[in-house]
Structure 1
Amino acid sequence: MKKYKLIVFDIDGTLLPFGVESLSAKTKKMVHELKEKGYVVVFATGREFVTIGTLLDDIPVDYFIGANGAFIYDLNKKEVVFENKIILSEFQTLSNFLEKFNCEYSVMTDKWGYFSDGHDLDTWFLSPHKENFKNLCELTCDEEPLHLVTIRANDKSFKNTVQEFIDKNNLNMEINAQWSKGFFIGPKNTNKATGLKKLYKFTKITLDEMIAFGDSSNDVEMLSEVGYSVALAGGWSYLKTIAKDVTTKTVEEDGVYYKLKELGIL
């Protein structure tokens, strides 16, 4: 196999089974082994500073690309080295529009998550971080940067309604991924692949020198543009059609670890 220099992983559904709060022993071992072999290790995820929790503790990850590409955090320097923000005034315009509908939504900053009235925080994903959430009425101009808006909506057509509003009002944001119960909004032209391109400034590693693993709609651009892409068995079926490879085991079975073994990287 060609000599790749950087390996990037989505987290939820790729390294971490849904509903599970900590990485497996094999995944942690994998990261340590990759670093020992000289690879740059990157986690690229829809999670941001609030919901990443302790997942990056005790493993030698080099960069955290969060909020679907909205920022890059250098874990060695312990600083944000790139950031693309949602403008507060534009979020407020969107928020005023969303208040007309019966939907739950939240926006994430680098310190807090802010939720709309009636938002359910008792989910497997949010409940471990409840102490880091506030009501939207507490969001002030001092709380920038805004990285990611999450909207819960059972009506699939509501996504089109929101995107039409964004376009009509020329807001510098867009829907950049879906999930089973809603969708995400981030800064325009921002995704995991654009984050990896920005990473070149710090690593001098091009996309064709990268291997990427993912499982869902927010991994499409990343898996389309890197040198070698791997979709997870059990993941979104469309992603498997654009990836160069698919794991033989699921996330619950440490599929990424075994694929890297199969490729001779571990």
Structure 2
Amino acid sequence: MTVKMIAVDMDGTFLNSQQDYDRETFNQLYQQMKQQNVRFVVASGNQYYQLKSFFPEIAEELSFVAENGAYVVSEGKEIFTGEIDSNTIHEVLTILADFKEGHTILCGKNSAYVAETEPDSFVEHGEKYYYRLKKVSNLFEVKEDTLFKFALSFPVEQVGEVLEQLHQALGDKVIPVSSGHGDVDLIIPGIHKAHGLLQLQELWGIKNHEVAAFGDSGNDIEMLKHAGYSYAMSNGQPKVKVAAKEIILSNDEKGVLVKIAELLGN
């Protein structure tokens, strides 16, 4: 088997429940990846600036498919940036106003934005995933940025129902996907993690069957279907397990690192 690219989701996949990973083991594996010319790609719904912080020594060497594919950066260079036009942003914000239990972060290239009226608990939750998060008087005012995603939060038990309602309310303007916990992302149609990986594959001449991908949530499904080698975490959502070719140990059992070691021939 020849794997030339390894793409990992972060929350619930690469990261354990303490939002960390076994850095020593990973660093050893990363040195092996470099020796074997295997690219390591971080593919997450989270913000680029947050993702970089997990790899302080090597962030400038890595590639990031951030914001569910809307922002792709390789070795510090911007490869792809999606954009939602301002009319659609306004339409979606108007529709979201009817979802009383929901909270919204508007995500852009330079920063993410949250309304001042949101509760502090939600803003603190947002700051874990968005290192650049600005408070604004309302989200309709955000103009000086390239906007490409909505990050929503709902009570966990409502997510299934809310996904259905959002699908109906939004049509094909933006696509709702679950990203774990009570979080739902609204993404640009056709711009998902698999699309992001494809941008990098074209850059490096890597075929789909040479890609290994790891995930646990609804926003990983396209990526898992796209990759020749696809792994769902045992802690993953049921439909994610169906999309993957193999189910591996959970995120708290270092499932990704165990499998990467295997892929590298250890």
Output the TM-score relative to the length of structure 1.
Answer: 0.85
Specify every segment of 5 or more residues in structure 1 that has no aligned partner in the other structure, as ranges.
Answer: none
Deviation at 1:252, TM superposition (A): 2.0
Aligned residue number for residue 24 of structure 1? 23
Q: Is the 8 A contact 1:175 1:185 kept in 2?
A: yes
CA distance in 2 between counterparts of 1:196 and 1:31 reads: 19
Following superposition of structure 1 onto structure 2, how do residues 202-241 of structure 1 map, counting pairs within 5 Å? 202-241=203-242
* Partners of 1:243 and 1:9 in 2: CA distance: 13
Alignment of 1:1-266 (within 5 A): 2-21=1-20, 24-52=23-51, 54-59=53-58, 61-75=61-75, 78-102=76-100, 103-116=102-115, 117-119=117-119, 120-123=122-125, 126-127=127-128, 132-135=133-136, 137=138, 139-143=141-145, 145-154=146-155, 155-156=158-159, 157-167=161-171, 171=173, 173-247=174-248, 249-266=249-266
Q: CA 1:131–1:147 in 2, change beyond 3 Å: closer, same or farther?
A: closer
Report the CA distance between 1:42 and its aligned residue: 0.8
CA distance in 1, matches of 2:179, 2:26: 26
Which amino acid is the alignment partner of residue 185 of structure 2?
Answer: F
Q: Cα offset for 1:19?
A: 4.1
Identity %, equivalent residues: 21
Find the aligned partners of 1:96 and 1:90 in 2 and give their Cα distance: 10
- Cα deviation for residue 134 of structure 1 reads 1.8
Q: Distance in 1 between matches of 2:129 and 2:211?
A: 32
Mind listing any 5+ residue stretches in structure 2 that lack a counterpart? none
Partners of 1:140 and 1:106 lie apart in 2 by 11
Tell me the alpha carbon deviations over residues 77-111 of structure 1, each in whole angstroms, 9 at most, x when there is no partner. x2211122122231122112222332211111122
Q: Is the 8 A contact 1:153 1:182 kept in 2?
A: yes
User: How far 1:178 moved relative to its partner?
Assistant: 4.3
Confirm or deny: 8 A CA contact 1:6 1:42 kept in the other structure.
yes
Matched AA of 2:244 = A
Q: CA deviation at 1:112?
A: 1.5
2: CA distance, partners of 1:236 / 1:52: 22
Offset from partner CA, 1:119-149 (integer Å, 9 cap, x none): 41223x6347566332253743212x11220
Q: Distance in 2 between matches of 1:87 and 1:136?
A: 21
Greater fraction helix: 2
- Deviation for aligned residue 1:160: 2.6
Cα RMSD, aligned residues only: 2.4
- 3-state SS of 1:141 partner: coil
With 57-66 and 39-48 compared, the bigger mean Cα shift is at 57-66
When the two structures are superposed, what TM-score results if normalisation uses the length of structure 2? Answer: 0.85
Counterpart Cα distance in 1 of 2:20 and 2:253: 16
Deviations 1:187-229 (A, max 9, x none): 1112111212222321111211111111221111111121111
For this pair of structures, how many residues does the alignment match? 257
Q: Secondary structure of 1:90's partner?
A: helix
Counterparts of 2:178 and 2:27 in 1: how far apart (Å)?
A: 27
The 8 Å contact of residues 111 and 132 in structure 1, kept in 2 or not, is answered as no
Distance 1:6 1:131 in 2: 29
The code of the aligned residue for 2:27 comes to: K
Asked whether the equivalents of residues 47 and 131 of structure 2 are also in contact (C-alpha less than 8 Å), the reply is: no
SS at match of 2:213: strand
